[in-house]
Each structure stands twice: as C-alpha cells, then as structure tokens.
Amino acid sequence: MKLKQILNEKLEEWILVASTILLVVLVVGQVFARFVMNFSFGWSEELARYLLIWIAWIAASYAVTKNAHIRVEILKDRFSKRIKQILELIVLIIWFGFAAFLAIEGTNFVLQVQATNQVSPSLGAEMWIVYLAVPVGGVLMGIRLIQQAILIFKDPEQLESTSPHDLNQ
C-alpha cells in the first residue's frame, strides 16, 4: 500500500483504533486497580478524558470520509440529479466554511493557551496539546469535504454510496 493511499484511506481509522484501544486499556486498568488492588492512578481519568476529546474530533473527519454524518434529505430527494448536485455542493461549501472556522479559530486559541504555559492538573501535560484536537479535526474535515466536493462532479451517480478515498481509483 502506498503512503498516499494509506494517508488517504486509513489515517483517521488507524488513529481512532489505536486511541480507542489505549482508552479501553486505560479505563479497564483504572477500574481493576481501584476495585481489585484498592489503588488508584490519579492521572488515568484525565488522560482518558483528553483521549476522548481527540477521538471525537478525529471521528468527525472519519465520518465525512464515510459519508456518515446525519443528514435530512427529504427535500433534496425531490429534485433532479443536477439540482441535487448543486444543493450538495452548497451544503459542502457551508460545511467547509465551518471546518475552516474551526481550524483558524482553534489554532488561534491553541496559540493563546500555549502562550500561558497552562498544564493539566494530574498529568502535567501542556493543555495546548489537548486543545489542538479542534484545529486538527477542522483541517482533516476540510480536506475530506474537498474530496467530497470533487466526488460530486467526478461521479454524481455514486455520491450516495462512496467515500472520498474512492477518488484514487
């Protein structure tokens, strides 16, 4: 598998699988330590929370890849294929604007937090790393939305059943 194909098709999936496995191990380990060993790791709950934040933002991009976000299509389905194509493009442009907003404003916020040298209470990790999930999610969503827009014009017939990584074929 080529690096470009891996990044295009599997990036979010691998990140999500690895971070979910880590999250499950962390939580199960904490439960075992607390209730069986009568000992508690103070940092595990905080790390689990931060992992969950990253998982949510990466999963939003992954959902764009799989065309799995919730949609209301009752109105769109009443139009011709060409009008559907235009409506879908308008929706993607608006959504891309939101993703760009998340990326830009999220980056500004991350830079502000980085300037304060704020750290998390238990882990002592720099908080800008936690907040970096927002702009990273925005950028990844933006990339996937551009791929969706290209797919609309490349093959509008398969828009409903394919995902952006089909652009390589």
Q: What would the DSSP string read from start to end of 10-78?
A: HHHHHHHHHHHHHHHHHHHHHHHHHHTSS---TTHHHHHHHHHHHHHHHHHHHHHHTT-S----TTGGG
**Total domains present in the chain:** 1
Rounded-to-integer distance, Cα 58 and Cα 128, Å: 17
Given pLDDT bands bounded at 50, 70 and 90, which one contains residue 162? very low
What's the chain's Rg over C-alpha atoms? 20
CB–CB of 78/63 below 8 Å?
Answer: no
- 47-56, 72-81, 109-118, range with the lowest pLDDT: 72-81
pTM, to two decimals? 0.83
The three-state secondary structure class of 126 is: strand
Give per-residue pLDDT as tens, 70-110. 877 777 778 888 888 888 899 999 999 999 999 999 999 99
Alpha-carbon dihedral 86, 76, 148, 61, rounded to 10 degrees: 140
| Tokens 């990584």 found at | 165
Region 119-123: mean pLDDT is: 93
Question: Taking a C-beta distance cutoff of 8 angstroms, is the pair 145, 96 a contact?
Answer: yes
For residues 100 and 138, the answer to whether their CB atoms sit within 8 Å is yes
Q: Structural domain of residue 35, as residue ranges?
A: 3-168
